[in-house]
Amino acid sequence: MTAFGGFMSLLFLAMLVLAVAALVLAAMARDDAYRAADKQNKMFWMIILGVTVAVNLLVPILFLQIAGLIATIVFFVDVRPALKQVLGGGGGRRGGSSSDGPYGPYNGGR
């Protein structure tokens, strides 16, 4: 039973780390980017992810933690890619063009 307890502790820690990462990323995006991406506003995501972090830290009820995990996954899978697209999310690249491919600029076979 000790191995199962250790596994569950690691699982809860991973859920907490994901929720904190999502909260930080949600806080870093501009409010107008949420509107431009046609997603809920920034305050909505800050509240949802903040409650998720609080539940993971303070109220370890599995049902609430799973609901928070679902919200975190939705943020990472749906909201964050839309925000990156609106904000020009080249992964930190600056000055790229629309013809840039994953390995550099595409020159049309020239």
Residue 18 lies in a domain: yes
Q: Does 37 score more than 80 pLDDT?
A: yes
Q: Does 81 score more than 90 pLDDT?
A: yes
In which domain, by residue range, is 26 found? 2-87
Q: Does 94 score more than 80 pLDDT?
A: no
- What is the value of pTM for the model shown? 0.74
Q: Does 99 score more than 80 pLDDT?
A: no
Residue 106 lies in a domain: no
Q: What share of the chain is helix, strand, coil (3-state, %, to 5)?
A: 70, 5, 30
- The pLDDT of residue 4: 84
- The pLDDT of residue 92: 47
Residue 102 lies in a domain: no
- The pLDDT of residue 106: 65
- The pLDDT of residue 89: 66
Q: Say if residues 91 and 37 touch (Cβ distance below 8 Å).
A: no
The count of structural domains within the chain is 1
